[in-house]
Each structure stands twice: as structure tokens, then as C-alpha cells.
């Protein structure tokens, strides 16, 4: 939150919604003018995969209940994002995704899409273009709503068949974006991971996922 306040839409109206099963641990951060924060308490799970994939349903519900009436644009971001440089209006568009930092040089047949036809997230080896990170999904509220609702429905169909896509909601997001192209693609500058070395092509890291002690923060391996 502190790094977001330094870099994320500074000078614009921002309403953060933080989803957590530990609301009492959200620190009291001094927010800039026009910025506000609402903590949303959510149930826990004994599987991290369930926590991450449930975000589609939470986003769908948040848009239905609040954002349709209060926002033009929305970004859904991983909670472990830390900001190092400006993230501003250049990121806005009808539908916005970010290239995953681990796969921007990977040939498409090696991209980690879901490859089992039984899953709704299935992408055949002959298809695909970019590999999008699940940590960033944004755009106009109505367009993001369509993504969240569709992915939630596809996740439900998979769950009913007891199949979980290779990378949970990220796999379903990749399927959605393949056939419903985002209008704007953010470079991995906006979605970096701290354990990756910074290659020469990437001049600025704007947002980065912190290194975490998985044994401590995840309920299961
Ligand atoms: C860089 C990037 O694109 N990262 C994606 C990647 O993993 P990551 O390695 O970035 O996963 P992660 O541990 O950050 O989990 C994804 C997010 O799910 C939430 N969470 C997760 C675990 C938990 O116990 N509680 C909780 O709230 C939280 O917002 C977290 O940031 O794959 C995930 C799905 O498999 C998501 O698509 C992530 O966005
Ligand atoms: Mn993350």
C-alpha cells in the first residue's frame, strides 16, 4: 500500500479494495488526496489454488455490487505487488492485460497454457499468442466484468468435472484473452517477479511481485 501510494495513479481518484482473511492485519496507511481504502473480509481456504482462482468470482461480485455505480476503470492486482515507478493513466484502456515476465521470449508451443481438452481453459498447441500474467487484469468496468464472469463460469464447469487448470484463473484468463483480445497490452515492466534477473530490454520495473516464503504464507505446498 505504501509503495502504491507513491506510484499508483497519484493525483487521481483511487478506491482500493483489499480482500483478506485477516482484516486486522491490514496496516493503517496514510492515503493521498482522493484515495480511499475498503477492506473486504473473505473466507479462508486450505488450498492456495482455491484462494487465487476465487478472485474471479470476487471481482464479478464487487463490480455488480459497487463498481458499476462508482468507477470507470478497475484493475485487479495480486496482493503481493510492490510498486517502484509510475503506474498511471497510460495503463487505461477498454480491456488491459500484462505479458507475464517469465514467458515474453517463449515460443508459443512452449507457453504454459492449459493443454488438456477436458478443461474449459484448453488451448491447442496450434493456437495462442502471448502468455498473460494472472496478476494484472484491468480496463473499463463493463469489459472487466465480462472477463470475470466468463472465467468464473468456466472455473465452475471445470470444478464440477473435478479438473483444475494448470495455473488456475490465469489459464482461464489466457483462454479468454486469446479469443477476446485485450485492447491494451502492458509490458512486463508492469508485472515483474523479484526472483527474475532484470534483462537489458526491461529498463524500468514498475511493479514487482515480492519474494515470499511460501511455507509461511501458503496453507499448502
Ligand atoms: C506474476 C503472476 O502473474 N502471478 C500469477 C501466478 O502466481 P504467483 O506466484 O504470483 O502467486 P501468488 O502467491 O501471488 O498468488 C496469487 C494471488 O492470489 C491471492 N492469494 C494466493 C494465495 C493465498 O493463500 N491467498 C491469496 O490471497 C493473492 O492475491 C496473491 O497475490 O499464478 C497465480 C495462479 O496460479 C495467479 O494467476 C498469479 O496472479
Ligand atoms: Mn503474485
pLDDT digits (tens, 9 = 90+) for 120-139: 999 999 999 999 999 999 99
Confidence of residue 21 (pLDDT cuts 50, 70, 90): very high
Burial of 200 (0-12, 13-18, 19+ CB in 10 A): exposed
pLDDT in tens, 99-116: 999 999 999 999 999 999
Assigned C-alpha cell, 36: 480511499
List all residues 6 or more positions away from 95 whose beta carbon is below 8 Å from its beta carbon.
Answer: 138, 139, 140, 143, 144, 147, 180, 181, 182, 183, 184
**pLDDT at residue 168, rounded to an integer:** 98
pLDDT for position 208: 97
Euclidean distance between CA atoms 31 and 147, whole angstroms: 30
| Phi, psi (rounded to 5 degrees) for 57 | -65, -40
Q: Quick check: 55 and 74 in contact, CB under 8 A? A: no
Instruction: List residues, by chain if needed, whose CB lies under 5 Å from ion ligand 2.
Output: 78, 80, 209
Kindly tell me the burial class for residue 72, based on how many C-beta atoms sit within 10 Å of its own C-beta (0-12, 13-18, 19 or more).
Answer: exposed
Q: What is the mean pLDDT of residues 139-156?
A: 98
109 assigned to active site? no
Q: Which pLDDT score, from 0 to 100, does residue 53 have?
A: 98
Of the chain, the percentage scoring pLDDT greater than 70 comes to 100
Task: Report residue 205's pLDDT band, with 50, 70 and 90 as the boundaries.
Answer: very high
Give whole-number Cα distances, 146 to 20, 44, 55, in Å. Answer: 24, 26, 14
pLDDT at residue 75, as a whole number: 98
5, 60, 114, 170: which one is catalytic?
Answer: 170
**pLDDT tens figures, 156-203:** 999 999 999 999 999 999 999 999 999 999 999 999 999 999 999 999
ipTM, two decimals: 0.95
Torsion of CA 157, 159, 164, 167, to 10 degrees: 70
> In the structure, what pLDDT confidence band is assigned to residue 206 with cuts at 50, 70 and 90?
very high
| CB of 191 sitting under 6 A from ligand 1 | yes
**Domain boundary assignment for the chain:** 47-217
How much of the chain, in percent, has pLDDT values that exceed 90? 100
Cβ atoms of residues 12 and 92 within 8 Å: no
Buried b (16+ CB within 10 A) or exposed e, 16-46: bbebeeeeeeeeeeeeeeebebeeeeeeeee
Tell how far the Cα of 147 is from the centroid of ligand 1, in angstroms: 18
| 186, HSE (Cβ side, Cα atoms, 13 Å) | 31
pLDDT at position 97: 98
Site to substitute for ligand 1 among 51, 52, 221, most atoms within 8 A of C-beta:
52
Q: Which of 48, 21, 53, 79 is nearest to 219 (CA)?
A: 48
Closest ligand, as measured to the CA of 186: 1
- Name the closest-CA residue to atom 3, ligand 1: 133
Which CATH architecture describes the domain 47-217?
Alpha-Beta Complex (3.90)
Amino acid at each position: 500500500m505504501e509503495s502504491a501510494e507513491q506510484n499508483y495513479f497519484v493525483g487521481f481518484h483511487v478506491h482500493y479494495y483489499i480482500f483478506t482473511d485477516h482484516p486486522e492485519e491490514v496496516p493503517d496507511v496514510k492515503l493521498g488526496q482522493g484515495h480511499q481504502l475498503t477492506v473486504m473480509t473473505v473466507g479462508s481456504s486450505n488450498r492456495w489454488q482455491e484462494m487465487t482462482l476465487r478472485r474471479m468470482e470476487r471481482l464479478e461480485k464487487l463490480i455488480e455490487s459497487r463498481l458499476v455505480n462508482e468507477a470507470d476503470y478497475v484493475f485487479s492486482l495480486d496482493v503481493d505487488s510492490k510498486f517502484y515507478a509510475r503506474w498511471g493513466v497510460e495503463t487505461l484502456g477498454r480491456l488491459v492485460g500484462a505479458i507475464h515476465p517469465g514467458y515474453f521470449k517463449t515460443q508459443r508451443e512452449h507457453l504454459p497454457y492449459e493443454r488438456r481438452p477436458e478443461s474449459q481453459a484448453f488451448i491447442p498447441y496450434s493456437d495462442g499468442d502471448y502468455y498473460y500474467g494472472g496478476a494484472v487484469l484491468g480496463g473499463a468496468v463493463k469489459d472487466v466484468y465480462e472477463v470475470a464472469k466468463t472465467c468464473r463460469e468456466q472455473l465452475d464447469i471445470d470444478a464440477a468435472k473435478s479438473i483444475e487448470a494448470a495455473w488456475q484463473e490465469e489459464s482461464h484468463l489466457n483462454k479468454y484473452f486469446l479469443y477476446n483480445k485485450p485492447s491494451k497490452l502492458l509490458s512486463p515492466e508492469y508485472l515483474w517477479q523479484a526472483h527474475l534477473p532484470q534483462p537489458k530490454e526491461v529498463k524500468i520495473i514498475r511493479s514487482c511481485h515480492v519474494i515470499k516464503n511460501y511455507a509461511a504464507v501458503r496453507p499448502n505446498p
